[in-house]
Chain A
Amino acid sequence: MFFATLEGLRRFNIPHKFEFVSIISLYAKWLREGRLKVDPAWNKDGLKFTVQDPCKLVRQGLGDVVAEDLRYVIKKVAGEENFIDVWPRMSNNYCCGGGGGSLQAGFVENRRKYGKLKFDQLSATGADVVITPCHNCHTQVIDICDFYGGKWKTTHLWNWLEKALVIDDSGVQAGKD
């Protein structure tokens, strides 16, 4: 929906009065402004995080800006030292192999074969957690992890944001107005 609408507006030059923003960029903005406070202290075991840049969101969608924001939020949440980037990354990242309807369309063997490249790339990071801010990538990354015997856990971003949230004494999130 997000990409289809965005690209439609862009391609056909449709005038509009609203802006397309990802929640990830809002998280980043709020963190930068101090309206949202997080503390990576929860991660005392040093869980290592890496990331999948969804094609529709990054490469074809909003570009490196949102990919940078994504990394910024992960580093804030999990600790700077616990983030391991992938190669290649951001707009230059590989497709997960599950896009274009292929998750639903059968041809499982082909889909997994394409996904092998993503699996190898993510495995090479040695991360414990792969953040995938896209429902489609999420399903595919879980599947190739299972199929090829990966050790990581595939999640969305908010699961960990919630863990790191700083709540003040009143039970209200600090900095919130």
Chain B
Amino acid sequence: MTTPRGSVLVVGGGIAGVQAALDLADSGFYVHLVERSSAIGGSMSQLDKTFPTNDCSACILSPKLVECGRHLNINLLTLSEILSLSGEPGSFKVKIRQNPRYVDVEKCIACGSCAEKCPKKVPDEFDLGLDTRKAIYLRYPQAVPLKYAIDPEHCIYLKKPGRCGFCEKVCPAGAINFKDTPKEYELEVGSVILALGFRPYSPESLDFTGYKRLKNVVTSMEFERVLSPSGPCMGHMERPSDHQEPKRIAWLQCIGSRDINRACHGYCSSICCMQAIKQAVISREHSASGDVDATIFYMDMRTYGKGFEAYYERAKAEGIRFKRARVHTVCPATGDNLRVRYADEEGKIREDEFDLVVLSVGLETDPQVMRLLHDMGIEVDADSFAETTCFRPVETSKKGIYVCGALAEPKDIPQSVVEASAAALEAERLLHVSRWTETKKKEFPPERDVHAEPPRIGVFVCSCGINIASVVDVQAVTDYAWTLPGVVFAQNNLFTCSQDTINQMAETIKKERLNRVVVASCTPRTHEALFQETLREAGINKYLFEMANIRDQDSWVHQHDPEAATQKAKDLVRMAVAKVRGDEPLPYNSVPVTKSALVIGAGIAGMTAALSLADQGFPVTLIERKDRLGGHGRKFFRTWQGQQVQPYLDELVQMVEANDKINVRVKTTIEEVSGSVGQFKTKLSDGTELEHGVAIVAVGAESYKPREGKWNYLYGKNPNVHTLLELDQRFIEDDQGLSGLNQAVFIHCVGSRVPERPYCSRVCCTHAIDQALHLKDLNPDMDIFMIYRDIRTYGKREHLYQKARAKGIIFIRYDLENLPRVSEDSGGLKLEVRDPIVGADITLHPDLLVLASAVRPRDDVGELSKLFKCAMTSEGFLLEAHMKLRPVDFATDGVYLAGLCHYPKPVEETISQAKAAASRAGLVLSRDAVPAESITAQVNLQKCTGCSVCTQVCAYHAVNMDPNTGKAVVDTGLCKGCGACVAGCRSDAITLKNIGNEQLMAAVEAAMEDF
């Protein structure tokens, strides 16, 4: 390969495409992001809330979209499609057609006058046809780019020039261009990432659902829009027939999934169980009276992800009803209600009436996408998803073309984000020599010196759609802001974070010569950085900014008291204004980056991450506490797709050992960690001290061994009782004794989903079924029984479950009230269990009893998490920065996680996550310096007595005693602005810039003003 291109094409602007684009653009590559519709955001933008955190989907997504839209190194091509692709890895030629928008994006200010005047109403595809939009439209309120588009299929003028044309007349910006034409681009890129997502299954052909024939039967995606504040009902839950609030709602699971009879989709769609539970929980919150009777009809409840099982248990405790039944038919009942007929667990026929039925529809690949894949020569599997393998989870059949998100298999948002970063990593690995060759550099205008100016404060009050405005009287808050001292401008906005408002804010800052800005909106957690950058673009220091949290801490928590909430919003704005008045411009600090990584743990995750970085030229130190590489992977026989793990692992070890950029240290652990992102100093158990810019934690987990207690089942007492991994060991050793067995029994959920370990271990259902199938291969006459609670073979793994049933493996369900009983009976094993279908106790005499035991966190992981200041879940797994959108980052910058220490996961997900962690680490390592905290501690030397308390309390080793003066000095590169030294100082000699006494007392005094 000659020098590859330094640019990448990302196809699909959903969350996966957006994440891949951001990772690449932030680590030195130029990205062309192609999106078919008029705005990026994908399916995630249509969701109301997201599980398991109940975050508002648009709220967490919006900052990423805006960042993508504003990014200097992302070329956003909306309304565009791929015409052809040729070339080879490192140098692809892509032809793209961009369809006309008929609106000049440079001129459109998204005021909406055009849509108001447009006489043509058409079904709104964003609301899945539940509402109408105009022929000139904005895809959704927070759309990026926030620009209107004309739908040529429906525009009266475009169909018959000379008629209509109202939009052109009313547009104040002159942005309408009826003469717009399609444009074709030919791009040269080094690599391609496909993130084309899915489409929801349409249940029209499943007549038993009544969909499209009965008004009050909707799909789960439609119901998301019903719940969404930007949806057809403005967030007031209504049913379609009469716009009344439904009181009794049923969810039917597996519509278009796990159905080889009618829907022809054998796979499990992975996300629908959690989506249904979430919708049931949220529907109660949306209901004015809060007494929604919610029932979920399901086959197996598949809450296998991090935090999912707890969410499920909480929903049960809140009274949401879960019925294990496949509904025969949804029939009409009186008054547009619906009658649902099903067999209950005792086999009795029951009929329930509901006001609304939600069909939990599965995910499938859009036929248009299938054609594109076909034209590109990308292999697809029998389920119409892009073909990948467990060991190469984001690689398509074509070199240099990678895949992420639901295009490869149905999956949830965090897994899509992980894969997006992993796909970005593969592109980075391929093109790393051309890093920074095609990127542009951001230049901010010089900052105005505002020291001498009296405060001129601007206040922007956000409605957040209806998130704030439905509770808080935002106009009253805006009017009030005008009356505050120093305020020279105040304004209310529908979505302050939308691109047009942000641009307008920058203009306002310049025009009104503002030198302090307050935004009263959602939360600084997600939006502060966005607004601060706007200040910089407007030519003032970004620290002259304050946020008043009037959503998370006001409208959301005081929903039932609008008056008090409005008063509180005024108080918060008054405090923010008082504080910002005393804020000073601060310098922008940065820390030089030590361009090497430390990877902790040399299992599959650690080795994959190490190789991913080393292949890009970054030196890596890989440490392993044991005496050999391989970790937990040493114990696995094969993946669910049937690839043998041991040969793969041997190859991986060889590659690691042969790589001269990787320094492997076995029997080594960590003693001490200091420093922060870009400049860590770590002391190892062998006494060496290491400097590194980033760290990846991949320390794995353990297999639970039920040596005693309730889940013992004679484990360790009878030689024929194994754990899954012990059986795998016998498979690896090709133990001939196995083929002579007559009966094998597997008990699922041994030590998982139990009070002391309430999470689902995710991997064991698939693992156990695959083992059972292997036993059947060894001896087709062997009788095999699976004693299970819910079978959770998510995604394409469902095919294994179908295969197992077809081979005659018998599945018997148990619950915690009726545990299987294992005893010894004349030398052999005896297992008794109640079969709920037969309604009787069944006795088995297995030769082999396999316990699908839990994956449990390592006991010593807590120590490690403390060293790197990382958080942990109550279950003992390491906790990422954000469950949805930052799945491999820790809240501590420069530290990432991968593999089983995060949560139980199969090999393919471990590999994806390790690559994702490497991609995220690459964001730091690819730079010479990373931005550091500006809000740092400063020492007043007059007051400092040199007592050195501050040096002892500082967790970052950022405060030291100057031997010459005997006073404290702060290393601003290391200081995180945590304030520990400020609180510790007895002499009041240390303050934090902009959060000093002056500013905080001003805010406190403002808070007390009304009392």
Cβ proximity bits A71-106 to B, threshold 8 Å, 1 near / 0 not: 000000000000000011111100000000000000
Within 8 A of B (CB), among A78-136: 87-92
The distance in angstroms between the C-alpha atoms of A90 and B206, with both chains bound, is 11
B208 at the interface (CB under 8 A from A): yes
The distance in angstroms between the C-alpha atoms of A92 and B327, with both chains bound, is 12
A contact residues around B329 at 8 Å (CB): 87-88, 92
B contact residues around A64 at 8 Å (CB): 207
A contact residues around B328 at 8 Å (CB): 88, 92
B331 at the interface (CB under 8 A from A): yes
Looking at the assembled complex, report how far the CB atom of A127 sits from the nearest CB atom of chain B, in whole angstroms: 15
A interface SS class:
helix
Looking at the assembled complex, report how far the CB atom of A15 sits from the nearest CB atom of chain B, in whole angstroms: 26
A90: contacting residue among B207, B210, B331, B332, CB under 8 A: B207
Residue of A nearest to B262 (CB): A91
B contact residues around A90 at 8 Å (CB): 207
Looking at the assembled complex, report how far the CB atom of A10 sits from the nearest CB atom of chain B, in whole angstroms: 16
Within 8 A of A (CB), among B324-362: 328-329, 331-332
Residue of B nearest to A87 (CB): B331
Looking at the assembled complex, report how far the CB atom of A55 sits from the nearest CB atom of chain B, in whole angstroms: 15
Looking at the assembled complex, report how far the CB atom of B777 sits from the nearest CB atom of chain A, in whole angstroms: 27
The distance in angstroms between the C-alpha atoms of A134 and B331, with both chains bound, is 25
The distance in angstroms between the C-alpha atoms of A89 and B330, with both chains bound, is 11
Residue of A nearest to B349 (CB): A117
B contact residues around A92 at 8 Å (CB): 207-208, 328-329
B contact residues around A87 at 8 Å (CB): 210, 329, 331-332
Within 8 A of A (CB), among B696-733: none
Q: How many residues of B contact A (CB 8 A)?
A: 7
The distance in angstroms between the C-alpha atoms of A84 and B210, with both chains bound, is 15
Looking at the assembled complex, report how far the CB atom of A64 sits from the nearest CB atom of chain B, in whole angstroms: 8
The distance in angstroms between the C-alpha atoms of A143 and B207, with both chains bound, is 28
Within 8 A of A (CB), among B298-330: 328-329
The distance in angstroms between the C-alpha atoms of A90 and B208, with both chains bound, is 10
Residue of A nearest to B206 (CB): A92
The distance in angstroms between the C-alpha atoms of A92 and B326, with both chains bound, is 14
The distance in angstroms between the C-alpha atoms of A92 and B331, with both chains bound, is 11
A contact residues around B332 at 8 Å (CB): 87
Most buried by A among B207, B329, B331: B207
A contact residues around B331 at 8 Å (CB): 87-88
The distance in angstroms between the C-alpha atoms of A89 and B329, with both chains bound, is 9
B contact residues around A88 at 8 Å (CB): 207-208, 328-329, 331
Residue of A nearest to B329 (CB): A88
Looking at the assembled complex, report how far the CB atom of A70 sits from the nearest CB atom of chain B, in whole angstroms: 14
Within 8 A of B (CB), among A6-62: none
B contact residues around A91 at 8 Å (CB): 207
A contact residues around B207 at 8 Å (CB): 64, 88-92
The distance in angstroms between the C-alpha atoms of A4 and B625, with both chains bound, is 69
The distance in angstroms between the C-alpha atoms of A90 and B328, with both chains bound, is 13
Within 8 A of A (CB), among B200-215: 207-208, 210
The distance in angstroms between the C-alpha atoms of A92 and B341, with both chains bound, is 13
Residue of B nearest to A86 (CB): B331
Looking at the assembled complex, report how far the CB atom of A93 sits from the nearest CB atom of chain B, in whole angstroms: 9
Looking at the assembled complex, report how far the CB atom of B357 sits from the nearest CB atom of chain A, in whole angstroms: 13
Residue of A nearest to B209 (CB): A92
Looking at the assembled complex, report how far the CB atom of B333 sits from the nearest CB atom of chain A, in whole angstroms: 10
Looking at the assembled complex, report how far the CB atom of A53 sits from the nearest CB atom of chain B, in whole angstroms: 11
Residue of B nearest to A90 (CB): B207
Residue of A nearest to B208 (CB): A92
B contact residues around A89 at 8 Å (CB): 207
Looking at the assembled complex, report how far the CB atom of B341 sits from the nearest CB atom of chain A, in whole angstroms: 9
Within 8 A of A (CB), among B266-282: none
The distance in angstroms between the C-alpha atoms of A92 and B329, with both chains bound, is 8
The distance in angstroms between the C-alpha atoms of A88 and B262, with both chains bound, is 16
The distance in angstroms between the C-alpha atoms of A70 and B208, with both chains bound, is 19
Most buried by B among A87, A88, A91, A92: A87
The distance in angstroms between the C-alpha atoms of A137 and B331, with both chains bound, is 22
A contact residues around B208 at 8 Å (CB): 88, 92
The distance in angstroms between the C-alpha atoms of A89 and B213, with both chains bound, is 12
The distance in angstroms between the C-alpha atoms of A91 and B262, with both chains bound, is 11
Most buried by B among A89, A91, A92: A92
Looking at the assembled complex, report how far the CB atom of A120 sits from the nearest CB atom of chain B, in whole angstroms: 11
Residue of B nearest to A64 (CB): B207
Looking at the assembled complex, report how far the CB atom of B335 sits from the nearest CB atom of chain A, in whole angstroms: 15
The distance in angstroms between the C-alpha atoms of A68 and B476, with both chains bound, is 61
Residue of B nearest to A121 (CB): B331
Most buried by B among A64, A88, A90: A88
Looking at the assembled complex, report how far the CB atom of B537 sits from the nearest CB atom of chain A, in whole angstroms: 60
The distance in angstroms between the C-alpha atoms of A89 and B207, with both chains bound, is 8
Residue of A nearest to B210 (CB): A87
Looking at the assembled complex, report how far the CB atom of B946 sits from the nearest CB atom of chain A, in whole angstroms: 85
Most buried by A among B210, B329, B332: B329
Looking at the assembled complex, report how far the CB atom of A9 sits from the nearest CB atom of chain B, in whole angstroms: 21
The distance in angstroms between the C-alpha atoms of A90 and B329, with both chains bound, is 12
The distance in angstroms between the C-alpha atoms of A123 and B332, with both chains bound, is 14
Residue of A nearest to B339 (CB): A87
Within 8 A of A (CB), among B172-220: 207-208, 210
Looking at the assembled complex, report how far the CB atom of A124 sits from the nearest CB atom of chain B, in whole angstroms: 9
The distance in angstroms between the C-alpha atoms of A168 and B629, with both chains bound, is 92
Residue of A nearest to B207 (CB): A92
Residue of B nearest to A88 (CB): B329
The distance in angstroms between the C-alpha atoms of A81 and B738, with both chains bound, is 68
Looking at the assembled complex, report how far the CB atom of A54 sits from the nearest CB atom of chain B, in whole angstroms: 17
Looking at the assembled complex, report how far the CB atom of A106 sits from the nearest CB atom of chain B, in whole angstroms: 24
Looking at the assembled complex, report how far the CB atom of A92 sits from the nearest CB atom of chain B, in whole angstroms: 5
Looking at the assembled complex, report how far the CB atom of A113 sits from the nearest CB atom of chain B, in whole angstroms: 12
The distance in angstroms between the C-alpha atoms of A87 and B332, with both chains bound, is 8
Looking at the assembled complex, report how far the CB atom of B260 sits from the nearest CB atom of chain A, in whole angstroms: 16
Looking at the assembled complex, report how far the CB atom of A116 sits from the nearest CB atom of chain B, in whole angstroms: 11
A contact residues around B210 at 8 Å (CB): 87
The distance in angstroms between the C-alpha atoms of A64 and B205, with both chains bound, is 10
Cβ proximity bits B575-615 to A, threshold 8 Å, 1 near / 0 not: 00000000000000000000000000000000000000000
Looking at the assembled complex, report how far the CB atom of B698 sits from the nearest CB atom of chain A, in whole angstroms: 51
The distance in angstroms between the C-alpha atoms of A87 and B329, with both chains bound, is 8
Looking at the assembled complex, report how far the CB atom of A61 sits from the nearest CB atom of chain B, in whole angstroms: 16
Within 8 A of A (CB), among B521-572: none
The distance in angstroms between the C-alpha atoms of A64 and B204, with both chains bound, is 13
The distance in angstroms between the C-alpha atoms of A64 and B331, with both chains bound, is 18
The distance in angstroms between the C-alpha atoms of A50 and B208, with both chains bound, is 18
The distance in angstroms between the C-alpha atoms of A90 and B207, with both chains bound, is 8
Looking at the assembled complex, report how far the CB atom of B22 sits from the nearest CB atom of chain A, in whole angstroms: 47
Looking at the assembled complex, report how far the CB atom of A71 sits from the nearest CB atom of chain B, in whole angstroms: 12
The distance in angstroms between the C-alpha atoms of A120 and B249, with both chains bound, is 25
Residue of A nearest to B214 (CB): A87
Looking at the assembled complex, report how far the CB atom of B831 sits from the nearest CB atom of chain A, in whole angstroms: 38
Looking at the assembled complex, report how far the CB atom of A88 sits from the nearest CB atom of chain B, in whole angstroms: 4
The distance in angstroms between the C-alpha atoms of A115 and B164, with both chains bound, is 61
The distance in angstroms between the C-alpha atoms of A46 and B188, with both chains bound, is 70
Within 8 A of A (CB), among B207-264: 207-208, 210
Looking at the assembled complex, report how far the CB atom of B989 sits from the nearest CB atom of chain A, in whole angstroms: 80
Looking at the assembled complex, report how far the CB atom of B722 sits from the nearest CB atom of chain A, in whole angstroms: 42
The distance in angstroms between the C-alpha atoms of A92 and B328, with both chains bound, is 8
The distance in angstroms between the C-alpha atoms of A92 and B207, with both chains bound, is 7
The distance in angstroms between the C-alpha atoms of A87 and B331, with both chains bound, is 6
The distance in angstroms between the C-alpha atoms of A88 and B341, with both chains bound, is 11
List 11 A-B residue pairs with CB atoms under 8 Å apart, sorted by A's residue number. Answer: A64-B207, A87-B329, A87-B332, A88-B207, A88-B208, A88-B328, A88-B329, A88-B331, A91-B207, A92-B208, A92-B329
Query: Residues of A at under 8 Å CB distance from B?
Result: 64, 87-92
* Supplied contacts A87-B332, A88-B329, A92-B328, 14 more A-B pairs, CB within 8 Å: A64-B207, A87-B210, A87-B329, A87-B331, A88-B207, A88-B208, A88-B328, A88-B331, A89-B207, A90-B207, A91-B207, A92-B207, A92-B208, A92-B329
Query: Residues of B at under 8 Å CB distance from A?
Result: 207-208, 210, 328-329, 331-332
Closest 3 CB pairs of A and B: A88-B329, A87-B331, A92-B208
